[in-house]
Chains A and B, each alone.
Chain A
């Protein structure tokens, strides 16, 4: 394949990945790296760099729409970004020292987890009555729009949420993904934010987290312009198209299908790591 053909096919693949990622809420990032490494035989370091770039693009694009609607909690997001950016830098620094097959195996495990999360989406937990001490000190309680007007909610479990966010940051820096799944858990389960608030705040944070990782990758020479160009443009276009379709239809079947694809990619990543595909 010459550069033009490869660029076109990478763009097309990224377009589909972005579209499905947006429809299923998993984000395009989780399948970009397997797509590039397994189907196009791209070095995993270049793949992670390109994936990070696409994650920033989709997160910022989506966040632009969400923040205006008033769902995301800027205080919660900004405070937790201390943990995610610090984690992202840690992750990116680990990534440059870790053997490539090890990165591929960790990636496979995270993919399996994402597939599971997508197949069994977590249910909304009952809102808490009392604000946690740290949340009270940081004035994190907020409101969000509902059909019946603004609804107030209380926040708790900030230390647990903060710790989980550090982990989410490490995974993002290590694997070039948004770690939306871990972020949403931190905010749903630990901090008890309403669903709509946690997903949009997570999206809002992903861009900042990924930017921290991308800085390290850029300086290390892992971001290749020729490869990142079709990936970024493809994922961005695909996820935009996805949001338009999403507004019209819920898609349980697609979600199941996507979970299966992600799980298959996970197994393929792990097997490839053990058979020496990533070691060069």
Chain B
């Protein structure tokens, strides 16, 4: 009967994950929208330039720098912070799942989930923060 019990507890995890994802997406969308309105109010009439790739300035690339820009109320910084919140939403979901599996004492899946989390943090360049 352990399998049945496991599934029943997974159901509880699923509900929390659902709420987590929804909250993350709504929050990110609101921050991006706020930054976007701010950005267009200031730069709406200037010419657009996305045909030419320049790469983003370094202050829009890394977590710490984006947060710094957003705090200064720089409009692009605010949008980038919203996008960062969005990218962080699945990461938070994975992090939460580590605890959920640990609570179930399902150590195989704790390890599996930790590997996924490590890969995500690696890709986000987490080493720039620490």
Contacts and interface: CB of A to CB of B under 8 A. Distances in A.
Interface residues of B, number: 68
A216 B121 CA distance: 10
Given A212-B120, A228-B79, A74 B13 contact: yes
A208 B87 CA distance: 9
Interface in B61-105: 61-62, 76-77, 79-80, 83-84, 86-91, 93-94, 97
B125 A219 contact: yes
A22 to B, nearest CB: 14
Contacts of A251: none
B40 to A, nearest CB: 6
B48 A6 contact: yes
A133 interface: no
A208 B14 contact: no
A155 B70 CA distance: 46
Contacts of B60: 221, 223, 225
Interface in A54-106: 56-57, 59-61, 63-65, 67-68, 70, 72, 74-75, 78-79, 81-82, 85-86, 88-89, 92
A165 to B, nearest CB: 12
Given A74-B10, A212-B119, A221-B61, A43 B52 contact: yes
A166 to B, nearest CB: 12
Given A43-B50, A74-B14, A139-B6, A223 B21 contact: no
Interface in B34-48: 35-36, 39-40, 43-48
Contacts, number: 212
A79 B94 CA distance: 11
Interface in A180-224: 207-208, 210-216, 218-224
Contact of A60 (B13, B15, B24, B97): B24
A115 interface: no
B93 A3 contact: no
A57 B27 CA distance: 11
B89 to A, nearest CB: 5
Contacts of B83: 53, 218, 223, 225, 228, 232
Interface string A20-49: 000000000000000010001111011000
A100 B61 CA distance: 21
Contacts of B124: 211, 215, 218-219
A226 B14 contact: no
Contacts of B91: 208, 211
Given A43-B50, A78-B112, A225-B60, A141 B3 contact: yes
Contacts of A272: none
Contacts of A228: 32, 79, 83
B37 to A, nearest CB: 10
Interface centre among B32, B35, B47, B94 (most CB of A within 10 A): B32
A69 B125 CA distance: 34
Contacts of A79: 109, 112
B90 A2 contact: no
Interface of B: 3, 6-7, 10-11, 13-15, 17-19, 21-22, 24-25, 28-29, 32-33, 35-36, 39-40, 43-48, 50-53, 55-58, 60-62, 76-77, 79-80, 83-84, 86-91, 93-94, 97, 108-109, 112-113, 115-116, 119-120, 122-125, 128
Given A3-B48, A221-B56, A226-B79, 6 more contacts: A45-B53, A60-B86, A213-B123, A218-B84, A223-B56, A232-B83
